[in-house]
Amino acid sequence: MNTDFSFAVSRRGLLIAAAGAAVSASLRSVSASAVEERRIKAASGQARFGGPEGPSTAVWAYDGSVPGPVLRLRQGQPVRITVENELNEDTTVHWHGIRLPNAMDGVPGLTQPPIKPGENFVYEFTPPDAGTFWYHPHANSLVQLGHGLAGALIVEEASPVAVDRDLLWMFQDWRLTTDGQIAAGFGSMMDAAMSGRVGNAVTVNGAPLADQPVRAGERVRLRLANACLARMMALRFEGHRPVVVAIDGQPCDPHEPEDGRLVLGPAMRIDAVIDMQGDPGSRHAVIDDFYDGLAYTLTTLAYDSAPPLRAHPFDAPVGLTRNPLPEPDLGTAERQEIVLQGGMMGGGKLAGVGGMMGMATPVMNGGAAWAINGVSMTGDGMAGMEPLFTLPRGSTCHLTMRNETAWWHPMHVHGFSLSVLSRNGAPVRHRQWQDTVLMAPKDVIECAFVADNPGDWMLHCHVVDHQMAGLMTVFRVN
Ligand code: C2O
Ligand code: CU
Ligand code: CU
C-alpha cells in the first residue's frame, strides 16, 4: 500500500484540478464525445493470496490479476469494452449496478449468447451514474467468481468530494486447501442450502490481511466492495467515525451508521469518508464481527509518526452529487411481492420448495434448495425463463420482498437501483438507493423503482450458491 504521503497530498491538488477540467470540458463540448476503449481478457493465471512468500494459487483472472484491473470510467462518457475469453469454458461479463441497455447486461441466454472460448464480446454503454460498481461473470458464476474473476468499476464524478486520498478495498474470500489451492466442491448441497460457500481466507485487493498506513489529519474516501461468494461482513473502525456517503454507488444523505458498523453482504458497496483523527504513531483495528464468535481484525489503521497533515479537521462538506435516478411515484405504483422460500430448517430438513429435487442432487446439476414465489430458477440465467411479472415501461413498481427463510440474503436487481423505503415497517432514512439489499432472516423490505429500462431483468440472491440453487427470478419491462 502507498505510504508516500507527499504523493497523497499532491493528489488532492490533482483531484481539484481534474474537477475544474471536467467542468470546462462539459462547457466546451456538446459535440459527440469520443468513445473510450477498454479491453479485458479472462484467462487462467496465478495469484499469491499469502503475499510474495506464500504459495502460488491457480486462479482465473481478468488481465492476469485478482481482483481484475480497476476500470475507471466517467459518468456520461460512452465506453466500449471488448472482453476476450481465453478460459476453457463459456463466460460473460455483468456490470453489476450499472444501469445500461438490457443487451449489455451480460446474462447468458437471457440478454446475450455466451462468449465461447477464444471469442470476444463487445460491451457498449454509457454509465449514467457515478459511483463504486464492479464487474464479474454471469456464466457458471459460482465457479468463475470463486476462481477470482471479479474487478472494481469506478465511475468518476465530474466533481468528486474533496479528500486527500481515494482508497479501494475489494474483499474476496477463498476456501483454500492446506497447500494453498482453491478447494474443489463448488455447489455442494450443504453450502447451497445453508450459508453458501464461505471461505477460510479473506483478501483485500487480492493481498493477505495487512496494515493500512494512514497519516494523522488526512481525510480518506474509502470504497468498500464485497466480492465474496457468500461471506457477509460488518466492519467496525476502532477510534474512528466513518461517514457513509454512498451505498451501492448511489449517494445517500451522509450519515454515521447506527451502532457504527458498516454492513456489507456479498456484492454490496459502501463509500465512506473517514477523518484520520488518531495520534501520530497510533494503531486502530478495523474489525469484521458479522458472525458471532468469529470476529477478526481485517486491517489496522497504522499511523505514521509524521505530525498531523492539518491543524484543524478537514471541514469541506462530504455530500456527493446525486445521480439522475427517476423518482418513483408511489401514488400510481404497481405493487409486486416476492417471497423467499426454502433453505435448511432446524433439524437438518430442507424447507419444501416448488420443483425441489432432494438433498442428493448436487446443485451444479440443477438441484434446487430455494424458491421465489414457489418457483426455483436455478443456474445463471437461461433462454426462455418466464418472467415472474411484467411492468409497463415508465411505471413505478412498489416491490415488497419477504424473507420467509432462516438465512441472510443480499437480494440484487439488475438494471435498476431500488429506493429502499422501509425495513420491517420502520422507514429507512438517509434516502438510500441500492441494487443489492441485505435481508436478515424473516425481514420484510419495501422498495420502489421506476421501470424505465425495457428488457428481461434478473433479480436474485448474491450468495452465489443460493442463486444457483433457485433463489432467482426474472421480471420484464416492456
Ligand atoms: Cu452481481 Cu446477477 O449479479
Ligand atoms: Cu447485477
Ligand atoms: Cu441467499
Lowest mean pLDDT among 35-39, 155-159, 419-423, 452-456: 155-159
- pLDDT number for residue 23: 39
Distance 396 CA to ligand 1 centre (A): 22
Residue that is written with C-alpha cell 468463475 in the block: 144
With bands split at pLDDT 50, 70 and 90, how would you rate the model's confidence at 380?
confident
- pLDDT number for residue 189: 87
Neighbours of 1 (CB within 10 A): 13
40: pLDDT strictly greater than 50: yes
Distance 94 CA to ligand 1 centre (A): 7
Distance 401 CA to ligand 2 centre (A): 17
Which amino acid is located at 210 in the chain?
A
Mean per-residue pLDDT, 424-431: 96
115: pLDDT strictly greater than 90: yes
**Which ligand does the CA of 197 lie closest to?**
3
Q: Is the distance from the beta carbon of residue 165 to the nearest atom of ligand 1 less than 6 Å?
A: no
**Which ligand does the CA of 268 lie closest to?**
1
Count of residues for the chain?
Answer: 478
19: pLDDT strictly greater than 70: no
**Which ligand does the CA of 439 lie closest to?**
3
Q: Is the distance from the beta carbon of residue 149 to the nearest atom of ligand 1 less than 6 Å?
A: no
Mean per-residue pLDDT, 221-227: 98
401: pLDDT strictly greater than 80: yes
Distance 171 CA to ligand 2 centre (A): 17
- pLDDT number for residue 78: 97
Mean per-residue pLDDT, 125-153: 97
Protein residue with least CA distance to atom 3, ligand 1: 96
With bands split at pLDDT 50, 70 and 90, how would you rate the model's confidence at 382?
low
Which atom of ligand 1 is the closest one to the Cα of 467? 2
Q: Is the distance from the beta carbon of residue 414 to the nearest atom of ligand 1 less than 6 Å?
A: yes
Distance 82 CA to ligand 2 centre (A): 19
Mean per-residue pLDDT, 41-54: 95
Lowest mean pLDDT among 77-86, 365-374, 445-454: 365-374
Mean per-residue pLDDT, 121-141: 97
d(CA 440, CA 455): 29
Cβ pair 189, 369 in contact under 8 A: yes
**Which ligand does the CA of 410 lie closest to?**
3
- pLDDT number for residue 355: 45
361: pLDDT strictly greater than 80: no
Mean per-residue pLDDT, 394-415: 97
- pLDDT number for residue 71: 98
pLDDT tens, 302-356? 999 999 999 887 888 899 999 999 999 999 999 999 999 999 876 666 666 544 4
295: pLDDT strictly greater than 50: yes
Mean per-residue pLDDT, 29-33: 49
Distance 213 CA to ligand 1 centre (A): 32
What mean pLDDT is reported for the chain? 90
What whole-number percentage of the chain has pLDDT above 90?
81
Lowest mean pLDDT among 66-70, 191-195, 335-339, 437-441: 191-195
- pLDDT number for residue 22: 43
Q: Is the distance from the beta carbon of residue 96 to the nearest atom of ligand 1 less than 6 Å?
A: yes
- pLDDT number for residue 314: 83
Q: Is the distance from the beta carbon of residue 48 to the nearest atom of ligand 1 less than 6 Å?
A: no
Which residues crowd ion ligand 2, with CB under 5 Å? Answer: 96, 414
Q: Is the distance from the beta carbon of residue 94 to the nearest atom of ligand 1 less than 6 Å?
A: yes
Distance 269 CA to ligand 2 centre (A): 12
Protein residue with least CA distance to atom 1, ligand 1: 96
Which atom of ligand 1 is the closest one to the Cα of 381? 2
Q: Is the distance from the beta carbon of residue 12 to the nearest atom of ligand 1 less than 6 Å?
A: no
389: pLDDT strictly greater than 90: yes
With bands split at pLDDT 50, 70 and 90, how would you rate the model's confidence at 190?
confident
- pLDDT number for residue 353: 58
Mean per-residue pLDDT, 113-118: 97
Mean per-residue pLDDT, 447-476: 96
Q: Is the distance from the beta carbon of residue 175 to the nearest atom of ligand 1 less than 6 Å?
A: no
Distance 14 CA to ligand 1 centre (A): 34
Mean per-residue pLDDT, 380-384: 69
- pLDDT number for residue 160: 87
Q: Is the distance from the beta carbon of residue 269 to the nearest atom of ligand 1 less than 6 Å?
A: no
Which atom of ligand 1 is the closest one to the Cα of 96? 1
